[in-house]
Amino acid sequence: MILSSNGHFPASFMGMLAYAAAGISSGIAWFLRRKQSSDVRTMACITILEAFLFLDIVFNWRWTLHTAMVHFAIGHARYGQRRVVQTAALAFLGVLCVYVLWATAHKLHGKTGMIVAVWGVLLSLACWCVEIISLHQIDAILYRRVDGWMVIIPVWFTFCLMTAVGVQLPVVNATGL
């Protein structure tokens, strides 16, 4: 486990907490609705993705991948041109994200809870990609400290809250709670 190698242990811990809560909430929804829901595969995918994001923070995979990409660029004498590639990758990610969010809303029309849950996990994955791409100007915003807390923490919590609450709405509606 490499929790503090980047010097951000409190942020990593908060990220683990957020993704664990979203994963547990998704797992509970998946378990409770496994036999009577048309969304059971979606709930399973959300649970698996949230578990992946939790383990990613625990084992520092995003930074390992980022470091491998940096070494690849340096090894091919392309590190100096990284900003153009990073900007293009972020633009592509933005367009892809908007399209996938729209397509999700279209496919899950009328299932507000599932839309919110899927959007939460998709935005978490987009944030994960943004962190791997690691354009300096974006990193300066995400890892800026405000009152001792990094900006990335409420971003993670917002996306995880969307997932955790959204995935429970169909369960609540089905049980009449």
Residue range 46-89, pLDDT digits in tens: 999 999 999 999 999 999 999 999 999 999 988 889 999 999 99
Q: Is the pLDDT of residue 162 over 80?
A: yes
Q: Is the pLDDT of residue 7 over 60?
A: no
Taking the C-alpha atoms of residue 169 and residue 177, their distance in angstroms, rounded to an integer, is 10
- The residue with tokens 């995400």 is 142
- The residue with tokens 């951000």 is 8
Residue range 18-50, pLDDT digits in tens: 999 999 999 999 998 888 778 889 999 999 999
- Strand-pair partners of 145: 150
Q: Terminus-to-terminus CA distance in the chain, angstroms?
A: 40
Length of the chain (residues): 177
